[in-house]
């Protein structure tokens, strides 16, 4: 089987880490893999060290959808049995899944397009998931919330949407004493820092760092003077977040660290992982990774978060944007150490039972194989009915 991945972003977040790990997994199974990604993108950079075929393009110029770009994509996809395209925000009238469908049609390819999505944004169009009138296309949703949203809101037929959780590497994300020295060196903490909060991921406005910093300010001057926050990642809001830390006079309570492909080292230093997002979440890998490390989580109740954060059992859910509620949740969880430790154990058990990445990769592979030689189908763009060709 030959699998294509289309990752139209230069970012290096959880989805991109999953793509790179998926590439390595499928290669290990003897599959051939092709990557279509911007030349300056992190995914292309990482995959050049593998046996995958990397076909790149200019991230800005592709928006013109030129004939040369179309030929480039046709060449990349012509031998692929399936092409997996992550649904990212459109830009300048361009969307990767729609362009991929066009290229497959114009190249008269037998490639089956699978759009993969976790995050739902109301402004997205139905055609980003099922390009209009295009044959041989279906969707993989990585949370049940997303699956149900696509069916209920976009009127996409149930049989066109499959739920497969991404999962995480349970061998890698497992507390290990022999990592402690390296972790301490990479993420140094002030003396007597506790609890240590971890917020790991892209620094974007939707991630709610401002809410977390306001909660931190309240806790540091009240119940938890030794509290400390590890901010791990980068992104377009980093400058504003650093400025807010200074404005709130939190320099002694916050540490900034760059994006890492080894978040397990950060979790070794963290007591509570916080995901304070205020919008646009699917099922963030960071929650499963934290729970696998027996680190309890506090997260905004958005998207598919509740599928892994079972409120009061594996972590705590809070309403997005609520500073006072987030402040109370952190204080309550840390003050009840018996519940805190039990949540860590329950979180690990849940991830082991439902989110093991190897078994989830196996499910993806079986799913892809099901489309080899599949009968073509056309999705009517008006009423969502399937028309057999």
Same domain membership, residue 141 and residue 22: yes
> In the predicted model, is pLDDT for residue 384 greater than 50?
no
Q: Based on C-alpha coordinates, what's the Rg of the chain? A: 22
Would residue 312 count as lying in a domain? Answer: yes
Region 353-378: mean pLDDT is: 84
Same domain membership, residue 132 and residue 187: no
Same domain membership, residue 242 and residue 363: no
pLDDT at 374: 55
Q: Which residue has the higher pLDDT, 310 or 119?
A: 310
- How is residue 334 annotated by DSSP? H
Q: Please state, in angstroms and as integers, the Cα–Cα distance from residue 279 to each residue in 96, 205, 314, 351, following that order.
A: 23, 9, 22, 24
For the stretch 123-171, pLDDT in tens is: 899 999 999 989 799 999 999 999 999 999 999 999 999 999 999 999 9
Would residue 172 count as lying in a domain? Answer: no
The pair of structure tokens assigned to 242 is 């650093």
Q: Please state, in angstroms and as integers, the Cα–Cα distance from residue 28 to each residue in 22, 95, 339, 368, following that order.
A: 10, 31, 41, 16
Structure confidence at residue 11 as a pLDDT band (50, 70, 90): confident
Same domain membership, residue 343 and residue 199: yes
Would residue 41 count as lying in a domain? Answer: yes
* Distance in Å from the first CA to the final CA of the chain: 24
Same domain membership, residue 339 and residue 364: no
Rounded Cα gap, residues 26 and 30, in angstroms: 7
For the stretch 338-355, pLDDT in tens is: 999 999 999 999 999 999
Residues 6+ apart with CB under 8 A from 349: none
Average pLDDT over the chain reads 92
Rounded Cα gap, residues 333 and 286, in angstroms: 19
Rounded Cα gap, residues 235 and 255, in angstroms: 16
**Is cis: bond before 130, omega within 30 of 0?**
no
pLDDT at 128: 96
Which range, of 110-114, 138-142, 219-223, 328-332, averages the lowest pLDDT?
219-223
Which single residue is written with the structure tokens 């018996």? Answer: 338
Which single residue is written with the structure tokens 């992550």? Answer: 86
> In the predicted model, is pLDDT for residue 57 greater than 50?
yes
pLDDT at 223: 86
Same domain membership, residue 383 and residue 331: no
Picking from 285, 354, 305, 291, the residue whose alpha carbon sits closest to that of residue 20 is 285
> In the predicted model, is pLDDT for residue 386 greater than 50?
no
Same domain membership, residue 347 and residue 361: no
> In the predicted model, is pLDDT for residue 381 greater than 50?
no
Picking from 203, 10, 205, the residue whose alpha carbon sits closest to that of residue 91 is 10
Region 296-316: mean pLDDT is: 95
- How is residue 299 annotated by DSSP? E
Rounded Cα gap, residues 121 and 114, in angstroms: 19
Same domain membership, residue 90 and residue 42: yes
* Number of domains composing the chain: 2
Three-state SS sequence of 205-250 = HHHCHHHHHHHHHHHHCCCCCCCEEEEECCCCCHHHHHHHHHHCCC
Same domain membership, residue 383 and residue 308: no
Same domain membership, residue 149 and residue 15: yes
The range of the structural domain enclosing residue 39 comes to 2-167+357-388
For the stretch 63-93, pLDDT in tens is: 999 999 999 999 999 999 999 999 999 988 8
Residue 83 contacts residue 109 (beta carbons within 8 Å): no
The pair of structure tokens assigned to 326 is 């987030």
Phi, psi of 347, deg, nearest 5? -65, -45
Q: Which residue has the higher pLDDT, 130 or 15?
A: 130
Picking from 304, 269, 271, the residue whose alpha carbon sits closest to that of residue 285 is 304
Would residue 141 count as lying in a domain? Answer: yes
Would residue 306 count as lying in a domain? Answer: yes
Q: What is the CATH number of the domain that holds 66?
A: 3.40.50.2000
The pair of structure tokens assigned to 301 is 């109740």
> In the predicted model, is pLDDT for residue 193 greater than 80?
yes
pLDDT at 247: 97
Rounded Cα gap, residues 85 and 2, in angstroms: 14
Residues 6+ apart with CB under 8 A from 342: none
Would residue 219 count as lying in a domain? Answer: yes
pLDDT at 280: 80
For the stretch 200-244, pLDDT in tens is: 999 999 999 999 999 999 999 988 999 999 999 999 999 999 999
Would residue 251 count as lying in a domain? Answer: yes
Same domain membership, residue 209 and residue 141: no
**Cα angle value 368/369/371 (rounded, 5°):** 75
For the stretch 45-56, pLDDT in tens is: 999 999 999 999
The pair of structure tokens assigned to 267 is 């979790």
> In the predicted model, is pLDDT for residue 373 greater than 80?
no
Same domain membership, residue 372 and residue 258: no
Which single residue is written with the structure tokens 């974007």? Answer: 204
């Amino acid at each position: 089987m030959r699998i294509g991945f289309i990752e139209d972003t230069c970012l290096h977040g959880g989805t991109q880490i999953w793509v790179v790990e998926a590439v390595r997994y499928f290669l290990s199974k003897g599959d051939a893999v092709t990557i279509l990604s911007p030349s300056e993108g992190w995914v292309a950079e990482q995959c050049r060290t593998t046996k995958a075929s990397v076909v790149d393009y200019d991230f800005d110029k592709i928006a013109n959808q030129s004939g040369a770009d179309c030929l480039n994509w046709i060449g990349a996809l012509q031998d692929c049995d399936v092409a997996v395209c992550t649904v990212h925000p459109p830009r300048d009238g361009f969307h990767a899944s729609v362009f991929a469908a066009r290229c497959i049609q114009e190249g008269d390819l037998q490639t089956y397009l699978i759009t993969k999505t976790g995050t739902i944004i109301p402004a997205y169009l139905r055609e980003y998931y099922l390009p209009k009138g295009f044959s041989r296309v279906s969707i993989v949703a990585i949370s049940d919330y997303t699956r149900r949203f696509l069916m209920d809101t976009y009127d996409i037929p149930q049989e066109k949407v499959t739920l497969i959780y991404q999962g995480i590497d349970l061998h890698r994300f497992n507390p290990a004493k022999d990592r402690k020295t390296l972790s301490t060196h990479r993420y140094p903490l002030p003396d007597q820092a506790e609890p240590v909060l971890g917020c790991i991921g892209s620094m974007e406005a939707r991630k709610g760092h401002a809410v977390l910093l306001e909660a931190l300010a309240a806790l540091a001057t009240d119940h938890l003077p030794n509290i400390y926050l590890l901010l791990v990642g980068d992104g377009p809001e980093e400058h504003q977040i650093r400025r807010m830390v200074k404005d709130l006079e939190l320099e002694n309570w916050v540490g900034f660290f760059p994006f890492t492909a080894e978040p397990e080292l950060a979790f070794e230093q963290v007591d509570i992982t916080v995901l304070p997002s205020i919008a646009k979440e699917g099922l963030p890998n960071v929650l499963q990774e934290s729970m696998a490390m027996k680190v309890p989580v506090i997260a905004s109740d958005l998207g598919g978060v509740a599928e892994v954060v079972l409120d009061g059992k594996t972590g705590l859910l809070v309403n997005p944007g609520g500073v006072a509620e987030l402040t109370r949740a952190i204080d309550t969880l840390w003050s009840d150490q018996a519940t805190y430790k039990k949540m860590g154990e329950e979180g690990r058990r849940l991830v082991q039972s439902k989110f093991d990445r190897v078994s989830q990769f196996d499910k993806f592979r079986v799913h892809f194989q099901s489309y080899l030689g599949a009968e073509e189908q056309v999705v009517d763009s008006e009423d969502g009915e399937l028309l057999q060709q």
